[in-house]
Amino acid sequence: MEPRETPLAPKQNSALRKVVVTGGLGFIGARVFRHLARLEQAGETWILDGFTRAADFRRLAPAGETGGLPVMRGDIRSRHDVAAALQGCDTVVHLAAETGMARTCAARQRMFDVNVAGTETLLTIAREQGVKHFIHVSSSKVYGPSTGPLNETAPLKPVTPYAVSKAMAEEAVMLAAHEGLRATILRPADAVGPGQRPDQLLPGLVMNALKGQRLAIEGAGVREREFLPVDDLAAAIGRVATSEPGDETLTILNVAGKERLSALEIAGRVFRAVGRTTGLHPVRDGSPTEAGCLLDDSRIRALGYRQQSSVEAELRAICDGLRARARRLHVSL
């Protein structure tokens, strides 16, 4: 692993000497990195990323201007790579993970290998190198489908391979905390915003509406879901990273989306963002394993965190981004 020289000078009197964000070239990770790098309390902020298909340097700098970014290429399952990245590190923000649907045995094996074994490697090196705070970004999907709202003491009932792997990774974090490592587990709702992959729900709906296609709505369209603006998730992580340590070595925090929207309400907001109504296409209800849950996040709000953006604002930004991309590619929408 070859670290690149960082252009960011350490901030004077910063509370956090060095922060490492794993998966920092991903959709969420890049927003978290940019947010942390701007905080006065943070000194050096680095990225450890495996350069997988989810990684994109353009999230941090325009194409062709990536030289000098504080990015280290490495595999979180590699002790060598992780040890090099965590030298002198105060805080780890762990976002690197395999996501999506693991439809083959090989894909499922890789998901568990990265999400569970990779997390265990990070925790081991973090303890060996004296990391002061390990922030593990999990998922609300570990709760399983529920009408909620659920607080952090609710039992975990993961039903998909991804959710199971995240729950197992949480167990590893809990064990490390029991052994003395200060750790925080965040369980956020589904993050949304511009730059998200088009195979995700909201970008997919916006793209279909821009093309004049009807939007698929499951069943009666009344099932509610929560979506969390990605910059608000980054702000929540920043709030946790700079919070004063308490007496407990383990803290678990939900990060909810303040709007609980049905499929019909989401479609209406997509139409407003696009500026036209293209109609609805009812389809059979999806698998109950794909249903979301509703969260009680009063614990993190007690730290002063408040959501600032909205689903409607994110949809407009997604729409603007897709239109701009179409213009660059000379594609009509």
CATH number of the domain bearing residue 264:
3.90.25.10
Instruction: Decide: 22 and 96 in contact? Cβ < 8 Å.
Output: yes
Question: Can you give the pLDDT at residue 113?
Answer: 96
Contacts of 156 (CB under 8 A, 6+ apart): 142, 143, 144, 167, 170
Residue 2, classed as helix, strand or coil, is coil
Residue 6 within a domain: no
**Same-domain pairing of 44 and 108:** yes
pTM of this prediction?
A: 0.90
Domain extent for 209: 201-223+259-287+317-328
Where b means 16+ CB within 10 Å and e means fewer, 74-85 reads bbbbbeebbbbb
**Same-domain pairing of 281 and 178:** no
**Same-domain pairing of 71 and 209:** no
Instruction: Decide: 139 and 159 in contact? Cβ < 8 Å.
Output: no
Domain containing residue 94: CATH number: 3.40.50.720
**Same-domain pairing of 87 and 147:** yes
Residue 2 within a domain: no
Residue 3 within a domain: no
Question: Can you give the pLDDT at residue 329?
Answer: 81
Residue 278 within a domain: yes
**Same-domain pairing of 166 and 142:** yes
Per-position pLDDT tens, the chain of length 333? 443 333 334 444 457 789 999 999 999 999 999 999 988 877 889 999 998 888 788 888 654 444 568 999 999 999 999 999 999 999 999 999 998 777 788 889 999 999 999 999 999 999 999 999 999 999 999 999 887 789 999 999 999 999 999 999 999 999 999 999 999 999 999 999 999 988 889 999 999 999 999 999 887 788 888 999 999 999 999 999 999 888 899 999 999 999 889 999 999 999 999 999 999 988 876 555 556 788 999 999 999 999 999 999 999 999 999 999 888 887 777
Residue 275 within a domain: yes
**Same-domain pairing of 245 and 110:** yes
Question: Can you give the pLDDT at residue 197?
Answer: 86
**Same-domain pairing of 163 and 219:** no
**Same-domain pairing of 212 and 283:** yes
